[in-house]
Amino acid sequence: MPPAFAVPDDTTLPLHLIGQDDLTAWTADQPSSVAAWVGASGFTAALGQALLVPGETGAPLMALAGFGTAETRSRARFHLAAAAAKLPKGSYAVASGLPADQAEVEVLGWLLAGYRFTRYKSAKPMGARLVAPEGLDTARLLALAEGEYLTRDLINTPASDMGPPDLEQAARDLAAKHGARIEVITGEALLERNFPMVHTVGRAADRAPRLIDMTWGETGPHITLVGKGVCFDTGGLNLKPGESMGLMKKDMGGAANVLGLAHMLMATGVALRLRVLIPAVENAVSGNAFRPGDILTSRKGLTVEINNTDAEGRLVLADALAYAQEADPDLIVSMATLTGAARVAVGPDLAPYYSDDAGFCADFEAAALAQADPVWRMPFHTPYEAMIEPAIADLDNAPKGGFAGSITAALFLRRFVGTSPYVHFDIYGWQPADAPARPKGGVGQATRALYAMLGDKAQS
C-alpha cells in the first residue's frame, strides 16, 4: 500500500521548490542566516537536490527541493519525487514553487517513490511524508498509486510464487475487494469451452492454463481489457538462451498492468461496464509441448502455423480477443509484453501502442502527457499483412526475416478483433534502473493515461 498523506502538526516543515533560475531571488528574500546556510551548503537548486535549513536553535526550520531548469525538467519525470527520496524522516507541506498545473503529477510521484518490494526482504521505508496540497483529489491519487503498486508487486514476484493459480488468486482478491464478478476456465475445460490456443500454449506446464474473466459495473461504456498472462516464458521448444530467460517472470506484465488499471477504475467508481480477460499460462517444455511446424486452430476458426514457439503471447491473446469481440464492446484494449522489437524501437520508457482511430490517439496522447505517462503511436501498417500469411495456414505466428516484429504482431492480433474499436499496447513492464518514483523492477505503463482517457469517455 502507498504511504498515507501526513497530517499537519507542529513538526511539519514547510517545503520550498526552487528552480535554478529563481534561487538568487529566493535567497535575497530570506534572513541572512538562511541565505548563508544555503550558500555554504552548496545548494544550487539542481533538479533532485534536497536541503534542510536550520533555525536559530539548530532545529530544522524549512526544507528546500531543487526544481532544476526547464531543460532538465523536460528530460525527467516526477521532479519532486527526486528530492523527496533524499529528505529525512518527517512530514512536509509544500509552501511555494509547485506549479498548480503540475501539482497532481508531482504529488503522485511522491507517493510512487515510497514503493518498496518487501515480500522476500525487508527494505527501509521512505521517511519523508507529504501533507496533501489543498485542492487535490487525494482519494483518487491514492487509488492511482495503489493500482501502480499492485502492478509492480505482481511483476516483481517470481514465477515460483506467481504462476497461473497465483495470478488467478490476485484477480480473485481484486474482484472481492470491489464486488466484481469472476469466472475462471481451467485446464481441459478450455478445450470444452473453445479456447484451444490458450490450452495448447499452457498444456506442457505442471500448473494448468486458465482464462480469467472478471466483470464489474452496470452502466456506462463497455470496455474490455485483455492482458497477456504468460507467467514464465522459457520459449518452449524454441528454448530461450539463459540471458534472455532471466526477466521472463515479467512476461505477465500485460496482465499486471490491466489488473492495476482495473483497480484504479473500480476504486474511483468510474462509470464503466468493465471486463478484464487474462489468459494465464506458462510456456514450458515437456513431451506434450506444442512444436514448430504445428498448425493450430483458434477460437475464431483461423488457422495458425507455428514457426517459433517463443511467439506464444499472441496465441493466447488471440483466443481472448476473439472472445472479447463476441460481446461487441465499445472498446477493446490489449496490453502485453509482446516483442523485443518494440524495445529496440522505442526503449524501455515509452509504451508503444497501435490504434486506427486518430481522434482517440489525439485525446489519449494529451492524457498521457498530462499524466507523465509517455506513449508512442505505432502503425497498423496494412501492407505488412502479407508477412503474417504463410503458405499452408491463415496466419504465421513468427514471420521470417526479422522485419517489423512489433507491427506484424499487432497485425496478427488485429485479425482476431471484429468491429469494436481496438487499441494494442506492446509494453516492456520493467524499469531497468532506478529513477525518480520508479525503482528498478516491475512498472506500470500507459495505465494512468488510459485511466484518464477512460474516465473522460465514461463522462462524455
What residues act catalytically?
Answer: 240, 314
Spell 65-81 as b/e; 16+ CB within 10 A means b: bbbbbeebeeeebbbbb
Q: Which amino acid is at 290?
A: F
Look at residues 335, 377, 375, 340 and name the one whose alpha carbon lies nearest to residue 356: 377
CB count in 10 Å sphere of residue 366: 14
Query: What is the DSSP secondary-structure string of 226-259?
Result: EE-EEEEE--TTSPPPHHHHTTGGGGGHHHHHHH
**Which H or E run contains 5?**
none
**How far apart are alpha carbons 186 and 207 in whole angstroms?**
10
Strand blocks (E) in 302-453: 303-305, 331-336, 351-354, 375-378, 395-396, 422-426, 430-431, 441-442
- Beta strands 128-131 and 90-96, pairing class: parallel
Helices H, strands E: what count in the chain? Answer: 16, 19
Look at residues 337, 303, 288, 326 and name the one whose alpha carbon lies nearest to residue 412: 303
Query: What is the DSSP secondary-structure string of 182-208?
Result: EEEEETTHHHHTT-HHHHHHHTTSSSP
Q: Are 103 and 136 in contact (CB under 8 A)?
A: yes
**Which H or E run contains 36?**
helix 32-40
Distance of CA 282 to the CA centre of its chain: 21
**Which H or E run contains 427?**
none
**How far apart are alpha carbons 51 and 38 in whole angstroms?**
8
What angle, rounded to 10 degrees, do the helices at 405-414 and 313-325 form?
Answer: 30
Look at residues 151, 204, 234, 426 and name the one whose alpha carbon lies nearest to residue 314: 426
As a three-state string, the secondary structure of 42-102 is: CCCCCCCCEEEEECCCCCEEEEEEEEECHHHHHCCCCHHHHHHCCCCCEEEEEEECCCHHH
What are the backbone dihedrals phi and psi of residue 282, each rounded to the nearest 5 degrees, phi first? -120, 135
Q: Are 372 and 109 in contact (CB under 8 A)?
A: yes
